Each structure stands twice: as structure tokens, then as C-alpha cells.
A and B are shown apart, each in its own frame.
Chain A
Amino acid sequence: MNEEVELLVFFEDESEPRPFKVHKNGTFTDLLMIISPDRHEEFLITVSGDKVPKERHEHVNGHHGQYAHCHHRSKHGPHRHEHRVEVIVNGTPVEVRYVPQEHGTVLVRRALEESHNSGQQPEKWQLRDEHGTLLDQNKRVSEYKLKPDSKLFLNLKAGGGGGIA
């Protein structure tokens, strides 16, 4: 007898769902702990067909094989950790929300989504501050030391060219 329940979870920044398995006696908190051990409190789960997020103590049993959506809490209302920063994406300014604990890659994906830049992979973009300093997207946004009026620049990496030095 199968002791696990599998849900196919869609994330905001991804087009394909990812499968996650929880013990049949597990709750949605257990599922969120598997998805994001450090930041599970920042997310909510809805199961396809439901408009209301699942209660965290509710058991996953009965949802085997169903599609679920993992949402950031900030999309469901103000969040005390949420900030906003202006990101100039290939010359077009967009306002992007972020949580300081998020990695730069998440902020970049969100900026590309907001500016409808889907032609290039996120890895092909470089994030810089106003002084032109290249920011490591694998660091947390809090490490960028952003101020309320900070602006970030997201530009495509230039391809190979040039001559021999």
C-alpha cells in the first residue's frame, strides 16, 4: 500500500510543475517544509479548483496526483517583509517586489516577468547597481544593501566578439 501522497506543484516563476511527495498522514505545512525548509512561512498552497489557500494543518491525503500552486504570501496581500525596487530591464523601468531573504535569481525572474522579457534565459542577464557593480544573483537580496531609492539595472550579457589582445 502506498504510504505517500504526490502533488504536482506549480511555482510562480516556472512553467512546468514539480512533483513533491508527502507522507499520507502529512499536512500542508509538511509539504511547504519540503518545498522551502527555511522560508516555508512565506508561502501558501492552493490545490487546483480551490480559490482559497489550504489551511496549513489540513492533511494532504485525498489530493494524490492533483495539481497545486505555490504562491508567495505577498500576492495575497501586504506582507511585512515585502519591499519594492525599481529595476531598469533593458532600458525599461519596472517596479519589482522582493523579500530581502530571497535570492537575486528570484528578483531577476520577477523583473523579467514584469517587463515581459521572455526571449532570453534568466542566466543571460546581468544585474548591476547604480554604480555599475555586478551583483551576484546567488546572494540574498538583503546582501545588496538596497536603499529605498535604489535602482537596479538588468541587462543582457554581450555575446562573444573582439579580437586577440
Chain B
Amino acid sequence: MEALPNYLDPSVSRVKFEKEIAQFKAIQDEYIKRGIWLLKDNYPTAVVAFAKAIAPPCVPFAASIDFTDYDLRPLSVTLINPFTQVPLNFNEVPTHFHRIIPGTAVGPFQQSQPLLMSHTDNKPFICLPGIREYHEHPAHTGDSWLLHRGSGEGSFHFVVENLHRYGVEGIIGYHVAFNVNLQAKPVE
């Protein structure tokens, strides 16, 4: 991954990293039960895998969460393969983080929108206030991170909760599809 430029003394963001990781670890058993697994925490990056307890259980993705310049800048989220830890392309992410649009009809006509977006480079990003990729997107220059900073939005807990909510909670099972074709052998 590309190294991010530093705007903030790393010792400041390291203290915030250690504080928020300690808060996470204080209730880690609760997170584990819900399928939020902290795999690594080496400043400036924390790697969290997201799992769903269906049968058989699945681990659809992990996220590399970067604390560089935090919290002058928001946390940066890169979705990665939970095994190889290689960043996923848009079409490799098994869920597109669909969220119900508030106020729309309930039931089969309920409308949703994907929070997972990408550009022509096929790199996925989560389009949600509190996440760096949202605030640094040219379309969101009117919604500065500094309007959200310190309010609870964008904390490590906020980010992992929302990755879990929209990326995992909606998973209800496996979709199995069969492709049935006629089989024929050559004839003389």
C-alpha cells in the first residue's frame, strides 16, 4: 500500500491509537462473540476481520484501518482478504454494504443503497462520514471531517461497528446456484 503523508506528529496519533485499541481490547470478548476479530494492532495499522455465524461460518472480508494523522484526519479503511491480507478489488468484496434508505417503504419494496463504492481503478472504498475515503473524496468537500471530529463519529469503535453492521449483519446465508446444461457426446 502507498505510504500516507504525515500532517500530524506520529507520537500524537500513536497515543490515540493505543487508547482506542485498549478500549477495544477491554471488551474484546463481546466483539469476538459478534464476529469482530482484531487480528493485528501495530501502529499505525489495526487489522480487523469480520465474521458471520451462519452455518458454516464465513469471514467475508477484513479491514486494514490506518491511524496515520488520526485524528487530524479520519481513519482510513482498506478492505483486504482476511487470509492473504491483500487489498480486495471492488468485484472481490462479497458484500456491497447495503443500507436501507430511511423513510422508504417497508417489505419487498424497501429501498437500499450500497455504501461500497469504487472508481474506474476498481479500488473499493466505504462511502460513509467518519471514514477518510469519504471526507477526502472530491464530492464531499462540503462535509469536512473537522465538523465530525471529536463527536464520537469516526472513532475506531464507530468504524468497526459500521463495517460490521453494513458489511456482515445483512448476511443471512449462502446463495447456491446450479447451472444445468444438456450433455451430449459426438456421434458418427
A residues apposed to B, CB below 8 Å? 88, 90-93, 117, 119-120, 130, 132, 151, 153, 155-156, 158-165
Contacts and interface: CB of A to CB of B under 8 A. Distances in A.
Contact of A158 (B112, B129, B143): B129
B34 interface: yes
B129 A160 contact: yes
Interface of B: 20, 23-24, 26-27, 30, 33-34, 97-99, 111-115, 117, 126-130, 134, 143, 148, 150-153, 155-158, 161-162, 165-166, 169
Contacts of A162: 97, 99, 113-115, 117, 127-128
A88 B113 contact: no
A117 B158 CA distance: 14
SS class of chain B's interface: helix, strand, loop or mixed? mixed
Contacts of B34: 130, 132
A88 B27 contact: yes
A93 B99 contact: no
B150 A159 contact: no
A92 B165 CA distance: 18
Contact of B129 (A92, A93, A153, A159): A159
25 contacts: A90-B158, A91-B24, A91-B27, A91-B155, A91-B157, A91-B158, A91-B161, A92-B23, A119-B150, A130-B30, A132-B169, A153-B161, A155-B161, A158-B130, A158-B153, A158-B162, A159-B128, A159-B148, A161-B115, A161-B128, A161-B134, A162-B115, A162-B117, A163-B113, A165-B98
A113 to B, nearest CB: 14
A117 B127 CA distance: 25
Contacts of A155: 157-158, 161
